[in-house]
């Protein structure tokens, strides 16, 4: 009787140890699967993020492929499968935003400059349970935004270069360059000029080859103006990609050695101000 | 008297099985430790790569060794600053009086730091450029193979971890 109990206990003891060993092995296998899945899910996201925004499009079953000849990833359709039983699914979806450009689930405007990316790796565990690791991110068309949410302000798209400014005939400021770095037209609506020669008055402003203000019109206010007056000019359109070096700002007196600051206000209300400069 | 003989007989029958099982447990423990170390190391490496590249200002391709199983990535964190390096290096380690020539990953940030422990052999550390359609460097593919110090059995071979990923670079990161 005692012998039978001893044999029974031994069998119970050893089968428990064997069970623990098997569980431990499965657990270790699961560790590798999980770690590989995270690396592969990250690869899916990283591949999409490394591509040009214009090469992305919405998909429910995206497949990314690395082409060594181009040293780049391309997007296709299908499911990526590996020999170890893991597979990867990539989903690219549109993003909706409200009027404040906040992302919302539904009911907003589709943002043409953002995609939601999701990269999920699946595998079947030893017990038949399907596991997955999923990573999500957003990608933004920062390079050439088309919608309003990521569109730079007018002022942000304009570059001023006053380093070559000079006085023509002592009274006319010339050589101030205005550069439209965007792919859209930008309109100057107002200008303010400060200078440190109080006796001199502002008489005329030419912008983009056109007289946009003078003491006798067009623009307001009328009459010769003092430093710091906000000038409501005729709308002066700076065409997309345009570089203008034809500015002429005329004063009543000789301005040699004067220091100026010029402020431009654009149609969207944004403002661009030069540093103080002495032409 | 008869019970004693029976017990001795039983012990004689069970003892070899017990010894074999204990040996198996010991071997499993060693494999488990090796697997856990490799798994932890790969997780730490992924985190380290992500963190370092997050701060990158430029990738110095001209000084890097890309598209190689023993890659070296050189990058800067500020314009004109120090060259940081993530590199494959060979090292000689002595464990249990046995000398091993192994591959390791080193991080240089003014001084050298091993990112992989002595108990793991890095056999592949491959970095490839990932470019957008304009040819600009926008990401890095990283392939990694970690294995136990010595491959003696199929179980050791099963402990090899080969994995790869792609890390995205911020648009502000330039290539030199």
Using a CB-CB cut-off of 8 Å, the residues of chain A touching B46 are: 38-39, 42
Contact A25, A125 (CB under 8 A): no
The minimum CA-CA distance between A31 and chain B, rounded to whole Å, is 7
Q: Write b or e for each residue in A65-80: b if 16 or more Cβ atoms lie within 10 A of its Cβ, otherwise e.
A: ebeeeebbbebeeeeb
Give the alpha-carbon dihedral of A26, A32, A35, A39, to 10 degrees.
-140
B131–A42 C-beta distance less than 8 A: no
- Residue numbers in A near B23 (CB within 8 A): none
Instruction: Say whether both A132 and A240 belong to one domain.
Output: no
Contacts of B166 in chain A (CB under 8 A): 42-47, 50, 73
Shared-domain flag, residues A192 and A214: yes
Share of chain B above pLDDT 70, in %: 97
Please give the pLDDT value at position A25.
65
d(CA B168, CA A137): 11
Predicted confidence (pLDDT) per residue in A117-163, tens digit: 999 999 998 888 999 999 999 999 988 888 888 877 889 889 999 88
Residues A227 and A129 in one domain: no
**Which pLDDT band, with edges at 50, 70 and 90, does A246 fall under?**
low
| In a shared domain, residues A168 and A267 | yes
- Residue A35 contacts B where some CB pair is shorter than 8 Å: yes
Q: What is the pLDDT of residues A14-73, one digit of tens each?
A: 777 777 777 666 666 666 888 889 999 999 999 999 999 999 999 999 999 999 998 999
Residue pair A238/A158 in contact by the 8 Å Cβ criterion: yes
A123 and A66 belong to one structural domain: yes
Do the Cβ atoms of B21 and A49 come within 8 Å? no
Whether A45 and chain B come into contact, CB under 8 Å, resolves to yes
The shortest C-alpha distance from A24 to chain B (Å) reads: 8
- The predicted-structure confidence for A210-227, as pLDDT tens digits, reads as follows 899 999 989 999 999 999
pLDDT on residue A183: 81
The edge-to-edge listing of strands for the beta sheet with A186-195 is A230-238, A186-195, A260-266, A271-273
For A53, nearest residue in chain B (alpha carbons): B132
Contacts of A87 (CB under 8 A, 6+ apart): A79, A80, A81, A121, A122, A123
Domain that holds residue A179: 154-273
Two tokens, residue A106 = 């539904």
User: For position A35, what pLDDT does the model report?
Assistant: 86
Residue A52 C-alpha, separation from nearest chain B C-alpha, in angstroms: 5
Residue A24 lies inside a defined structural domain of this protein:
no
Band of pLDDT at residue B171, cut at 50, 70 and 90: confident
* Phi, then psi, of B38 in degrees rounded to 5: -65, -45
What is residue A132's predicted lDDT score, i.e. its pLDDT?
Answer: 93
Report whether A190 contacts A216 (CB < 8 A): no
Interhelix angle B2-54/A2-50, rounded to 10 degrees, is: 10
Look-up of token digits 């010595």: B150
Whether B61 and chain A come into contact, CB under 8 Å, resolves to: no
Last residue of a domain, one of A140, A166, A194: A140
Q: Assess whether A205 and A262 both reside in one domain.
A: yes
In a shared domain, residues A159 and A134:
no
Across the A/B interface, how many CB contacts are shorter than 8 Å?
Answer: 106
Taking contacts as CB-CB distances below 8 angstroms, the residues of chain A near B138 are 49-51
Please answer yes or no on whether B131 and A50 come within 8 Å at the CB atom: yes
Structural domain contains residue A13: no
Kindly state whether A39 is in contact with chain B, defined as any CB-CB distance less than 8 angstroms. yes
Strands, E assignment, chain B: 58-59, 72-76, 83-95, 98-108, 112-114, 120-131, 137-148, 161-168, 174-175
The predicted structure's pLDDT at residue A28? 64
Contacts of A91 (CB under 8 A, 6+ apart): A59, A60, A61, A62, A117, A118, A120
CB contact under 8 A, B128 and A68: yes
Q: Tell me the pLDDT tens digit for each residue of A65-115.
A: 999 998 999 999 999 999 989 999 999 999 999 988 999 998 999 999 999
Strand partners, B144: B125, B163
The predicted-structure confidence for B111-170, as pLDDT tens digits, reads as follows 999 999 998 999 999 999 999 999 999 999 999 999 988 766 677 777 888 899 999 998
| Domain count of the fold of chain A | 2
Mutate to test the interface with A, among B25, B139, B173 (most CBs of A within 10 A): B139
**Is A11 inside any structural domain?**
no
Asked whether the beta carbons of B41 and B146 are under 8 A apart, the reply is yes
Contact at CB, A55 and B35, closer than 8 angstroms: no
Q: How confident is the model at residue A190 (pLDDT cuts 50, 70, 90)?
A: very high
Residue A187 domain-assigned (yes or no): yes
Q: What is the CATH number of the domain that holds A210?
A: 2.60.40
Residue A135: name the closest of B37, B46, B108, B149 by CA. Answer: B46
Residue A22 belongs to some domain of the structure = no
The encoded tokens of residue A258 equal 């004067």
ipTM for the predicted complex: 0.83
What's the predicted TM-score (pTM) here? 0.72
Contact A212, A234 (CB under 8 A): yes
A43 and B CB contact within 8 Å? yes
If asked whether residues A41 and A131 sit together in one domain, one would say: yes
Exposure class string for A252-261: b at 16+ Cβ within 10 A, else e: eeebeebebb
The Cα–Cα gap between A40 and A36 comes to 6
Domains in chain B: boundaries: 2-175
**DSSP reduced 3-state for A208:** coil
Residues A52 and A163 in one domain: no
pLDDT the model gives residue B96: 81
Candidates A46, A75, A133, A140: best to mutate against B (most CBs of B within 10 A) is A46
Closest CA to A17 of B23, B155, B35, B30: B23
State the pLDDT at residue A56.
94
**Given CB atoms, is B15 within the 8 Å cutoff of chain A?**
no
Check whether residue A86 and residue A47 sit in a common domain. yes
């Amino acid at each position: 009787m005692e012998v039978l109990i001893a044999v029974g206990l031994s069998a119970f003891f050893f089968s428990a140890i064997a069970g623990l060993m098997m569980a431990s092995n499965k657990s270790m296998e699961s560790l590798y699967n999980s770690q590989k899945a995270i690396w592969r899910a990250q690869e899916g996201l990283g591949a999409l993020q490394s591509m040009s925004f214009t090469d992305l499009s919405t998909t429910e079953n995206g497949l990314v492929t690395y082409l060594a000849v181009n040293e780049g990833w391309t997007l296709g359709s299908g499911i990526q499968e590996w020999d170890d039983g893991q597979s990867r699914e990539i989903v690219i979806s549109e993003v909706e935003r409200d009027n404040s450009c906040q992302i919302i689930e539904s009911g907003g405007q589709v943002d043409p400059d953002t995609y939601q990316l999701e990269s999920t790796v699946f595998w079947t565990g030893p017990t038949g349970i399907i596991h997955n690791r999923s990573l999500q991110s957003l990608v933004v068309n920062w390079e050439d935004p088309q919608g309003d949410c990521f569109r730079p302000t007018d002022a942000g798209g304009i570059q001023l270069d006053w380093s070559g400014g000079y006085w023509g005939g002592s009274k006319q400021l010339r050589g101030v360059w205005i550069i439209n770095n965007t792919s859209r037209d930008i309109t100057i609506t107002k200008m303010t000029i400060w200078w440190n020669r109080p006796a001199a008055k502002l008489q005329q402003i030419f912008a983009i080859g056109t007289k946009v203000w003078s003491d006798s019109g067009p623009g307001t206010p009328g009459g010769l103006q003092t430093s710091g007056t906000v000038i409501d000019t005729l709308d002066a359109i700076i065409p997309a990609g345009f570089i203008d070096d034809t500015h002429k700002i005329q004063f009543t007196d000789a301005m040699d050695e004067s220091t100026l600051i010029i402020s431009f206000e654009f149609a969207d209300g944004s403002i661009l101000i030069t540093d103080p400069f002495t032409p | 008297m008869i019970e004693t003989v029976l017990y001795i007989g039983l012990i004689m029958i069970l003892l070899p099985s017990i010894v074999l099982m204990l040996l198996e447990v010991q071997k499993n423990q060693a494999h488990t430790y090796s697997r856990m170390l490799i798994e932890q190391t790969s997780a730490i490496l992924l985190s380290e790569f992500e963190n370092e590249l997050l701060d990158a200002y430029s990738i110095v391709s001209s000084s890097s060794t890309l598209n190689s199983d023993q890659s070296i990535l050189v990058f800067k964190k500020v314009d004109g600053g120090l060259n940081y390096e993530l590199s494959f290096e060979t090292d000689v380690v002595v464990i249990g009086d046995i000398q091993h020539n192994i591959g390791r990953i080193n991080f240089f940030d003014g001084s050298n730091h091993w990112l992989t422990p002595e108990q793991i052999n890095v056999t592949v550390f491959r970095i490839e450029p990932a470019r957008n359609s304009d040819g600009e460097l926008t990401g890095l593919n990283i392939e990694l193979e970690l294995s136990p110090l010595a491959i003696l059995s199929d179980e050791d071979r099963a402990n090899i971890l080969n994995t790869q990923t792609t890390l995205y670079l911020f648009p502000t990161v330039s290539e030199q």
